[in-house]
Amino acid sequence: MKLIRFYTRPENMENIREKLFEMGAPGLSVTDALGIGKPLGQMTHEKGEPAHLPQFRKRICVEVVADDKDTQALAASLAELCRTGKFGDGKIFIINVDDAIRVRTGERGADSLY
């Protein structure tokens, strides 16, 4: 199993939800986030002036735990869906998940996802 953690713009949330369920994702979690990406590009300064500190941008963090066989397709679809070619499109992390437990039933592993 893999955890797909995707940071992106908040306005992408509904399109992401629709796409993930269309592709059969077992569920998702979304949290609000603040982030700074590529801060050196934001650190401009005039001669003799100190550099400006990078500013936080509002983002969402979308998390999906998926079966290994589905991970690459889900991640690729998320990237394609949210890609504008501009700074701030987002970042996807794919993280190994050793185990999962459905608390209600005690099911473990991939059985706990669906």
Q: What is the full DSSP assignment across 33-65? A: EEE--SGGGG----TTSPPPPP--EEEEEEEEE
Instruction: State the residue range of the domain holding 13.
Output: 2-37+57-112
Q: How many domains does the chain have?
A: 1
For the chain, strand residue ranges (E) read 2-8, 29-35, 57-66, 91-96
- The pTM (predicted TM-score) of the whole model is 0.85
Q: What is the pLDDT along the chain (114 residues), one digit of tens a residue?
A: 999 999 999 999 999 999 999 999 989 999 999 998 876 655 666 666 666 777 899 999 999 999 999 999 999 999 999 999 988 899 999 999 999 999 999 999 999 988
Q: Which residue has the tokens 């992106």?
A: 8
- CATH code for the domain in which residue 64 is found: 3.30.70.120
Report if residue 49 sits inside a domain: no
Report if residue 80 sits inside a domain: yes
First-to-last C-alpha distance (Å) of the chain: 12
